[in-house]
Structure 1
Amino acid sequence: MEIIDLTLNKDNKATIHGSVYSLQYEIKEEDYYLKLIIDYYNKRLKILNYGGKNYRGMAKRIDYIAKENNFDKVFIKATSKDWEEFMSYGYILEGIFKYYYNGDHGYCLSKFYSSKRRDSDTIEKENEIIETINDYKPKDIDIKLEEEYSVSIANREDIQNITKLYDSVFKTYPIPLNNGDYVNTLMENDVIFIYIKHKDKIVSCASADIDYLHKNAEMTDCATNPKYRKKGLMSVIIDKLEEEMRKRDINSLYSIARAVSFGMNKVFKKHGYSYTGRLINNCNICGNFEDMNLWVKKL
């Protein structure tokens, strides 16, 4: 059994017996507030929310937790009013989540604590992919599924087959989508999965993680069985997810796609998403830390 020691805060440590992906934690001080994910699996801190004007205090506290846990990346979606405040504390701009805060932009700021995490080994290949994809024009997606295929919104009865798909497609993934209990928790917390079946087998799936407060959604968890790729299945799913988001009055969509995946980046370009940045060595996916491209769309 794995024993994991995590530092949550000053004088607040936790020892976990077993496996862990991440922990959510809140810090409340007189002049600032932080809500963060201590993302052990991806060796990073994700700042979910923050408040107050003591940016120096926030930056020092974030540094402390990152360094104590031997994490080498932090990222935060800062607002248009204060994103520049973080720059003087070592943060760099990696991307723009356009329209993220009820129409106002969010700014993806990252701080690195090692050159290994900061430097990308695949940047040239990723640039070539984006340059090639720039030649594609957004267009209406009208792919007709063949007779033996069907598309559906997932429910709890589908969880076992969904986890099998993710387990077969990804060697590693930033969140445990091969765990049925975890997928069930996502479904209970404003995440909608849509899948395509071929006969009785789920062969492609993706989800929308909805933030009703800020009226945005992340289009994520895109996976297709390798035997069924290049059939336009993911385009069908993205189209259906967007349809569902319109019904729920969601105004802004974004996706973080593997920068080395020509196919997924092409899908979002053709669906009218705009490329607005690249998150270097962002998460542990397919066996390595990989760069992720940011795509955004206003509905």
Structure 2
Amino acid sequence: MDSIEKIGNSIIQHGRYNDRIYLMKLDPADMPSLLDKMDSLAEKEGYSKIFTKVPGSFKDLLCARNYLCEASIPRYYGGEDAVIMSKFLDEKRSIDSLDEMHEEVIKKSLSKEKFLNPTLPFGYSIRKCEKQDIENMAEVYQETFDTYPFPIHDPNYLLKTMEDHVVYFGVFKDEKVVALSSAEIDYDHSAVEMTDFATLPEFRGKGLSSHLLMKMAEEMRSMGIRTAFTIARASSYGMNIVFAKCGYEYCGRLVNNTNIGGDIESMNIWYRKLKA
């Protein structure tokens, strides 16, 4: 898997698995020298993409350094938008060969009616996951994903993140996890990434991801979190429809961004305001 490291007080993920550098968390005091250090690292390792999530006030600086704005998340930094800026170091990686299909996914998703059914199917329950669920959770993730940008199939990783800043939610049937998701909280900015959705094949088609997403929003709102967003596979009709139906707004696409499902895929950004 790719490694997570600090440069100054900023946090990056990088490695050959995703063939990229991801600036996960920026300390503004590290700018602009951080950009030089990421360039040097990318050149040394031969990575083909750098992507960043930074306050909108840094957009001009990154544009001047050959970054493109692929998406934005309204109000992520209080009253300031987050911009997702990417630098392509290999022209081939900047080409979305499935652009037409990805556009059709968005069009179809936005045409769907809002999700208005809060009642789970009979025999199912939904709750936050706890430590005793971790082995079962890892099994679900192992069965669902051939590859994933973070080691969510590893019980030790699930435990570490659960003890830190991630709240996992599960749909249960007969005391077993059949669908999962997680809320990765950025407490500094009162924001949350809704992510790690997985449903076992035999339980798909029941709207379980929509139920998870609505439950997560309810919990995050009660914690005072203002902003929710997700990074969803651009080719997935199912997940993009889930976010559209649950009131999220489409904010842009990250081209050839993430190793998931066995290949590097483009990803869509969706956003929802949880609190004023």
Once the two structures are TM-superposed, the CA of residue 36 in structure 1 deviates from its matched residue by: 2.2
Corresponding residue number in structure 2 for 1:50: 27
Q: Say which SS state the counterpart of residue 277 (structure 1) adopts.
A: strand
Corresponding residue number in structure 1 for 2:148: 173
Inter-CA distance 52–213: structure 2 relative to 1 (3 Å threshold): closer
Corresponding residue number in structure 1 for 2:76: 100
**Aligned ranges 1:1-299 → 2 under 5 Å:** 20-27=1-8, 34-47=10-23, 48-52=25-29, 55=32, 57-139=33-115, 141-299=116-274
Aligned equivalents of 1:94, 1:289: Cα separation in 2:
17
Query: What are the Cα deviations for residues 167-226 of structure 1, in whole angstroms up to 9, with x where unaligned?
Result: 001110111111000000110111011101121321100000001110000000001111
- Paired residues in the alignment total 273
Please report the TM-score for the alignment, with normalisation by the length of structure 1.
0.87
Aligned equivalents of 2:238, 2:60: Cα separation in 1:
34
> Given residue 41 of structure 1, which amino acid in structure 2 is its aligned partner?
Y
Q: Say which SS state the counterpart of residue 205 (structure 1) adopts.
A: strand
Aligned equivalents of 1:120, 1:82: Cα separation in 2:
26
Aligned-pair identity (%): 34
Query: What are the Cα deviations for residues 99-147 of structure 1, in whole angstroms up to 9, with x where unaligned?
Result: 21123210000001112321122111111111122222434x3242233
Please report the TM-score for the alignment, with normalisation by the length of structure 2.
0.94
User: Is contact 2:15-2:21 (8 Å) kept?
Assistant: yes
Once the two structures are TM-superposed, the CA of residue 46 in structure 1 deviates from its matched residue by: 1.5
List structure 1 runs of 4+ shifted beyond 6 angstroms.
Answer: none
Once the two structures are TM-superposed, the CA of residue 69 in structure 1 deviates from its matched residue by: 1.3
Query: What are the Cα deviations for residues 227-262 of structure 1, in whole angstroms up to 9, with x where unaligned?
Result: 111101111111110111011100000001111110
User: Is contact 1:103-1:251 (8 Å) kept?
Assistant: no
Inter-CA distance 171–217: structure 2 relative to 1 (3 Å threshold): same
Aligned equivalents of 1:45, 1:248: Cα separation in 2:
31
- Gaps in structure 2 of 5+ consecutive residues: none
User: Is contact 1:21-1:40 (8 Å) kept?
Assistant: yes
Inter-CA distance 184–40: structure 2 relative to 1 (3 Å threshold): farther
Look at both structures and tell me which one has the larger radius of gyration over its CA atoms: 1
Aligned equivalents of 2:38, 2:58: Cα separation in 1:
17
Q: Say which SS state the counterpart of residue 62 (structure 1) adopts.
A: helix
User: Is contact 2:70-2:84 (8 Å) kept?
Assistant: yes
Deviates more, 1:158-167 or 1:59-68: 59-68
Aligned equivalents of 2:36, 2:152: Cα separation in 1:
33
Aligned equivalents of 1:263, 1:284: Cα separation in 2:
18
Q: Which has the higher contact order (CA 8 A, sep 6+)?
A: 2
Once the two structures are TM-superposed, the CA of residue 53 in structure 1 deviates from its matched residue by: 8.2
User: Is contact 1:77-1:107 (8 Å) kept?
Assistant: yes
> Given residue 121 of structure 1, which amino acid in structure 2 is its aligned partner?
S
Once the two structures are TM-superposed, the CA of residue 49 in structure 1 deviates from its matched residue by: 0.7
Structure with greater proportional helix content: 2
